[in-house]
Structure 1
């Protein structure tokens, strides 16, 4: 019996020793892996980014659950509730600025995509001075929001702006593009389209140049016109480029505060262009309603996630397939 017990215990002990050896071997390989050896280069920036970005997002959300009203006293985290969000849902200013934000987001993104793909098709058709035309349309994208705002502030000048001067040649105007609430949002959208259409052109041009010429030749042999060839064959293959460009455009549309502040020099732009971003800054810095401003910031974050999340899911599905 003793011998049989030793026989039974032997493999168990040997198995335990082997398991411990395997564990140590895996641990040794882990510590020698590229992931661990490269950690001094990426770990500290990763932690700092996590603290500054994700820590700031979490803190902003916590602030929105308090009654924090400024720097005179610290926020009270003992009584967290959603009172600020209820107040925002009942605030007419939130609805009006939200409507302006939505109109700007949709109109700017849609028109810029259409103009971008038109320019890309035009340049892909081997027009004369193609490189010069491409550079001219791409140049505005290299400008900052501040420069673009000041440029179009001069262009829209009521007395001697270039827009009213050109319209005057045809017996039109002058129009108060900046001061008229019915025109100012359209004027802002047009300025943004001017700045970002070149970016969309480059994105779509890269997509067009990746499509084999055989498809053009096949469509030509089948008797398809140029319009049908692009509408039925080419443009459907630009879906990935369209989604990528649309996400970038919508993110910039949500970050419109810099443009509006640079153009109007105030936290309260004209009625037609007051958006959620300007309302958020005004509530925080003018009225010291920091908790309410944090709630509006969270709403803006949710809008941004609503834009980015479907794109990330689309990219994930595309790679999985």
Structure 2
């Protein structure tokens, strides 16, 4: 009995009776805040959040303010005289427009080619064929290579005199072509090399999505008399749309970060005319000409372009409840 009375007193002390007959939490606002899930989990998310905020987002903010100055690498930036002159100069710079055009061509052509080739490979390996595991490993192997290794490999492949590409087309009486020196061929050559490296990645994404489709849908389509082409076009490929969107975002971001591939391919940040993209233009302005403020403005333009790609994807995932 004494224990029961002590329990009742403790409950009454922790809760007070409201006038409407309900009960309300008797803890203070500060105590409720300290007991919240956000505060209790702070030791887990706090340090990564602070490190990410300082080294990434604070750096992006500082880079934006630097782009508003006239800093050229000497002395200290003058943050008292901020203007948009560097951004207006970008609009009048023919090199920026050429680099933007090359960036967009690289982005679109590279992404579409990887998606189509990856889909074809995934459909092929989804069937019961001999040595499909071996083929899957072969197709995925280039993705395991770094940009530097891939660049050196294709730099040798495209060599005018001893490159295997010119030797192969020479059998048909074509060439030799200066794949990396001709302004009309260089961007296509770069895109082809990148597609060779990343098609295996999209193949794996599509293959995982194909394996997740219930077999009942295949059987139902066959019972209805659908041909293989019609079944893939009407039943299977529409269900691969989430995988296609996810792969597209990753491919676009890789295309925007193709600086190291071009740097290794051409031996510096001055690629041949026709292969100059915003990333190489940014590094050349900052490190080559010491125009740090102008290079920062180009970096902000690249950041905005990346946001334009990733924001719709994140919004879609949020609406679906995946974030």
The two structures share one fold, judged by TM-score above 0.5: yes
CA contact (8 A) 2:64 2:297 kept: yes
What TM-score results when the alignment is normalised by the length of structure 2? 0.90
Structure 2 unpaired stretches of 5+: 1-15
Equivalent residue for 2:26?
22
Q: 1:33: how far off?
A: 5.3
Equivalent residue for 1:141?
143
Structure 1 unpaired stretches of 5+: 1-12
Q: How does 1:277-296 map to 2 (within 5 A)?
A: 277-296=279-298
Q: 1:170: how far off?
A: 2.1
Which residue of 302, 311, 316 corresponds with 1:309? 311
What CA deviation, in whole Å up to 9, does each residue of 1:153-205 have, x standing for no partner? Answer: 01111111111111122222211111111111001000000000000000000
Distance 1:148 1:14 in 2: 72
Equivalent residue for 2:45?
42
SS of structure 2 residue aligned to 1:271: coil
The yes-or-no answer on 1:253 pairing with 2:259 is no
Superposition RMSD in Å: 2.1
Equivalent residue for 2:72?
69
What TM-score results when the alignment is normalised by the length of structure 1? 0.90
SS of structure 1 residue aligned to 2:320: helix
Equivalent residue for 1:7?
none
Distance 1:196 1:97 in 2: 22
The yes-or-no answer on 1:106 pairing with 2:108 is yes
Equivalent residue for 2:6?
none
Distance 2:185 2:266 in 1: 15
Distance 1:254 1:40 in 2: 35
Decide which structure has greater helix share: 1
* CA gap 1:21/1:227 in 2 versus in 1, 3 angstroms: closer
Q: 1:41: how far off?
A: 3.9
Q: 1:44: how far off?
A: 2.1
Q: 1:90: how far off?
A: 1.1
Equivalent residue for 1:4?
none
Distance 1:61 1:20 in 2: 49
CA contact (8 A) 2:166 2:176 kept: yes
Q: How does 1:212-231 map to 2 (within 5 A)?
A: 212-231=214-233
What CA deviation, in whole Å up to 9, does each residue of 1:56-115 have, x standing for no partner? Answer: 110010011111111x21111111111110110111110000000000000000011000
What CA deviation, in whole Å up to 9, does each residue of 1:209-258 have, x standing for no partner? Answer: 11111111111111111111101110011110000000000000000110
SS of structure 2 residue aligned to 1:191: helix
